[in-house]
A and B are shown apart, each in its own frame.
Chain A
């Protein structure tokens, strides 16, 4: 009886082995098989973990690089020759050295990280976890990220078509809107038109590359900074909410027309701290609100038969924010802005374009009229781009900046960007 059971167990184990082992394991046992003569366990391990037997390309299964994150390094350097307030400012500037890592974590999601060294400071620009396997094409982005606001906010400055940030974004947000929070995304199609939307809730938000709380923590002009400041006991009014809806239609054989609407809103989430006595102690703190709505329109057409391309993009912004009067009364202020650029690529190696921006002063009470009634700033630029390769780019840009309350200034900038390591061609919407 025992022998019968033993025999049954052997038959079952052989059956199980036949069931679980890939037929390829046996199909490959020919004269060319490097594993010929190797016992079955080792064969299975080698086929499951290539390199286990030392026959791979120098890697063991434990250190197979295919599970490592993709890594990239972008060096963004700038030589600027400018005249600011009547003084010449010429400098070479390593504007940023950006490291990015990305990897799928597991079947549920992936993550990426973007960190930059700027002016000898290390700064985490983005650290995002994306759950991308939710039903109905839903996904969740959580962490510190560039908010889904307008067409260009999620693009890092060195990846944009021009050297300097557009004036409207700089005036209203202080740069790219960087947030810490959660965004829910979905894309779908209405007929043959792809559409997507997102909604986000954020506890921290600031413009530029993320000096937010540090910059917001000091004394400064009334309402002049864009940074969240509440640390604890946070109420709903101190969160920020973002949203975007966009659609993209085909334009020609290899182009698209995209349009969208975005908003940013916080009830009292922006902070303004006053050090009335200049003693380093904050005497008063004000929570300020802001609502910004932007309409964006982008036309991109690539002639893949001639390798030329045209890109036109513009955004119209409406900014409503709380401001402080000299008597520390909170008042509502409105300002508008419009910016855009056009670029023609003569080939994959050469391109040229123009950029323009106009915005009303967001810090005065006079900006409620759409195009009049407030002091305004403007920006004009012309640029030429030379791509030596996909990873090596030189750009020359002549810019005239006319900031509110200042005389116009000119600058000539030479930007040199190089990409090391991993790169990709992301979905363009």
Chain B
């Protein structure tokens, strides 16, 4: 009698693992990508994020727990364009998980799908310490690139679990429809700001500026990755006055003390992160908040007219 009871007990333990389909374990490097994978994957995915919300990716430690997460993951989705230079190469060098290595079924480098801006014409340390040879990696700040990011997330999930194709495709379609609706609004809301001259601390905003016709005329960092010198700050102050620069955008992790003397009455300091905060705020909500902050900095209400009921969805780059 004991043996059948033992077999029955063991089968109770084994049954769920044999029948249930485990969620995919996905590692995303930044919160924006986490959010997209979670939305498209739904309950079919567990997502872990490497860069904590509100963090400078250059300051992320390549620590062993990240290696462990990577070694147990089914998939890895990353920004690419050397955005994760501070931590990801060391982890990829150590992990044996072939799925998440370049060429693996679970490896998705979104940057490879992006038409990058600011690709250096030549690589020389005179151009800065924080150089990105493949182009500026802050493409997530252009919502049109966000649609490419969402497609990449969808494609990663489809490659890993084609049996859930209908679910993933339906969720992605719903997200993309919402994204297009919002983008039409944002384009309308940002129209009054077209041609405005802005200054940024780090070269994080070229994609956003290009999308909405803003002109980035200078950076507080004299070269990417270098702290501003007194001489450079003096030149910037002069430039702000001469060119009537309306806005200075700075990531929250930079010190405000260095630039407080730069600002005058006509220039607003806007502290904005370059990624959403993950679970609390979706990627699209984050972009909408950026648009809202830009408008408020120019004396406009955060939101303008909602055009969603006025126009049908338009075709665009995303499929």
Interface residues of A (CB under 8 A from B): 132-133, 137, 187, 189, 192-194, 196, 248-250, 253-256, 300, 302-307, 309, 347-349, 388-391, 424-429
Mask: chain B, 60-101; 1 = CB below 8 Å from A; 0 = not: 111111011001100000000000011101110110100000
Not counting A254-B52, A254-B61, a sample of 20 additional A-B residue pairs whose C-beta atoms are within 8 angstroms of each other reads A189-B72, A192-B65, A194-B64, A194-B67, A196-B64, A248-B63, A254-B60, A255-B61, A256-B61, A304-B55, A304-B60, A305-B52, A305-B55, A307-B253, A348-B58, A389-B225, A424-B90, A425-B90, A427-B67, A429-B63
Q: Which of A137, A193, A255, A304 has the most CB of B within 10 A?
A: A304
Residues of A within 8 A of B57 (CB): 304
A307 to B86, CA, bound (A): 13
Complex CA–CA separation, A349 to B225 (angstroms): 10
Asked, given contacts A189-B68, A390-B225, A391-B125, whether A347 binds B63 with beta carbons under 8 Å apart, the answer is no
- Which residues from B are CB-within-8-Å of A388? 226
**Cβ–Cβ contact B64 & A300, under 8 A:** no
Compute the total of residue contacts between A and B using a CB distance below 8 Å. Answer: 101
> A309–B58 Cα gap in the complex (Å)?
13
User: Does A304 lie within 8 Å of B67, measured CB to CB?
Assistant: no
Per-residue A-contact encoding for B231-273, CB less than 8 Å = 1, 0 else: 0000000000000000000001111000000000000000000
In contact, B68 and A194 (Cβ under 8 angstroms): yes
Check A304 against B62 for contact (C-beta < 8 Å).
Answer: no
CB-based nearest B residue for A134: B96
A248 touches B65 (CB 8 A): yes
**Which B residues are in CB contact (< 8 Å) with A196?**
64
Whether the Cβ atoms of B91 and A427 lie closer than 8 Å is: yes
Chain A residues, CB < 8 A from B91: 427
Chain B residues with CB under 8 Å of A305's CB are: 52, 54-56, 252-253
Task: Give A391's nearest chain B residue, CB to CB.
Answer: B129
A133 to B60, CA, bound (A): 27
When distances are taken between beta carbons in the complex, the residues of chain A under 8 Å from B64 are 187, 194, 196, 248, 256, 427-429
In the complex, A248→B66 CA distance in Å?
11
A333 CA to B58 CA in the complex, in Å? 48
Chain B residue nearest in CB terms to A191: B68
Is B227's CB within 8 Å of the partner chain A?
yes
CB atoms of A425 and B62 under 8 A apart: yes
Given A192-B68, A389-B129, answer yes or no on A428-B56 (Cβ-Cβ < 8 Å).
no
Which residue, of B56, B61, B86, B90, has the highest number of chain A Cβ atoms within 10 A? B61
Query: B87: nearest residue on chain A (CB-CB)?
Result: A425
Return the 8 tightest CB-CB contacts between A and B, nearest first.
Answer: A304-B55, A194-B64, A389-B129, A304-B59, A253-B52, A248-B64, A189-B68, A427-B90
Closest residue of A by beta carbon distance from B90: A427
Q: Is the CB of B125 within 8 A of A306?
A: no
Q: How far apart are the CA atoms of A255 and B62 in the complex, in Å? A: 10
- Could you tell me if A250 and B63 are in contact, using CB atoms closer than 8 angstroms? yes
- For window 25-77 of chain B, which residues contact chain A by CB distance below 8 Å? 51-52, 54-65, 67-68, 71-72
Chain A interface, DSSP helix/strand/loop, else mixed: loop
A selection of 19 A-B contacts at a CB cut-off of 8 Å is A137-B96, A189-B68, A189-B72, A256-B63, A256-B64, A300-B61, A303-B59, A304-B56, A304-B60, A307-B59, A349-B227, A389-B226, A390-B130, A391-B129, A425-B62, A426-B90, A427-B63, A427-B67, A427-B91
- Report whether A425 and B86 are in contact in the complex, using a CB–CB cutoff of 8 Å: yes
Taking CB atoms, residues of chain A closer than 8 Å to B59 are 254, 302-304, 307, 309, 348
Tally of B interface residues using CB under 8 Å: 37
Tell me the complex Cα distance, A303–B68, Å: 21
Nearest CB on B from A249, distance (A): 8
In the bound assembly, the distance between CA atoms of A428 and B90 in angstroms comes to: 9
Q: Which parts of B253-307 form the interface with A (CB within 8 Å)?
A: 253-255
A187/B61 contact (C-beta < 8 A), A305-B253, A389-B129, A424-B90 known: no
B contact residues vs A (CB 8 Å cutoff) = 51-52, 54-65, 67-68, 71-72, 85-87, 89-91, 93-94, 96, 125, 129-130, 225-227, 252-255
In the assembled complex, the Cα of A303 lies from the Cα of B86 at a distance in Å of 15
Q: How far is the CA of A425 from the CA of B58 in the complex (A)?
A: 10
Contacts of A307 on B, CB cut-off 8 Å? 56, 59, 253-254
Instruction: Contacts A248-B63, A254-B61, A256-B64 given; indicate if A304 touches B125 (C-beta within 8 A).
Output: no
State the Cβ distance, B90 to closest chain A Cβ, in Å.
5
> Which of B59, B91, B129 is packed against the most chain A CB atoms within 10 Å?
B59
From known contacts A305-B253, A307-B56, A428-B63, infer whether A133 and B68 are also in contact, taking CB-CB under 8 Å.
no
Q: Which residue of the partner chain, among B67, B85, B94, contacts A425 with CB atoms under 8 Å?
A: B85
Interface centre among B60, B62, B63 (most CB of A within 10 A): B63
Residues of A within 8 A of B87 (CB): 425
Distance, CA A194 to CA B89, complexed state (A): 18
By a CB distance below 8 angstroms, the chain A residues around B62 are 425-428
- Indicate if the CB atoms of B55 and A390 lie closer than 8 Å: no
Pick from A254, A347, A424, A428: contact of B89, CB below 8 A.
A424
| B88 nearest in chain A by CB position | A425
State which of A250, A300, A347, A390 has its C-beta within 8 Å of the C-beta of B65: A250
> With contacts A348-B58, A389-B129 known, is A304 near B51, CB below 8 A?
yes
Of A192, A248, A250, A306, most buried by chain B (CB within 10 Å of CB) is A306
CB distance from B73 to the nearest CB of A (A): 13
Report the bound CA distance from A348 to B60 in whole Å.
Answer: 12
A424 to B91, CA, bound (A): 11
Q: Which residues of B contact A249 (CB under 8 A)?
A: 65
Closest to B52 in A: A253
B125 — which chain A residues lie within 8 A by C-beta?
Answer: 391
Q: Is the CB of A304 within 8 A of B253?
A: yes
Between A253, A300, A388, the greatest number of chain B beta carbons within 10 A of the residue's beta carbon is seen for A253
Query: How far does the Cβ of A133 sit from chain B's closest Cβ, in whole Å?
Result: 7
- Name the residue on A nearest B129 (C-beta): A389
Cα–Cα, bound, A133→B101 (Å): 13
Q: How far is the CA of A366 from the CA of B63 in the complex (A)?
A: 42
Q: Separation in Å of the A132 CB from the closest CB of chain B? A: 8
- The reply to whether A304 and B65 contact each other, CB–CB distance below 8 Å, is no
Whether the pair A254, B55 counts as a contact (CB closer than 8 A) is yes
Residues of B within 8 A of A255 (CB): 61, 63
Interchain CB contact under 8 A, B68 and A428: no
Q: How far is the CB of A307 from the nearest CB of chain B, in Å? A: 5
Cα–Cα, bound, A189→B63 (Å): 13
Closest chain B residue, CB of each to CB of A345: B59
Chain B residues, CB < 8 A from A303: 59
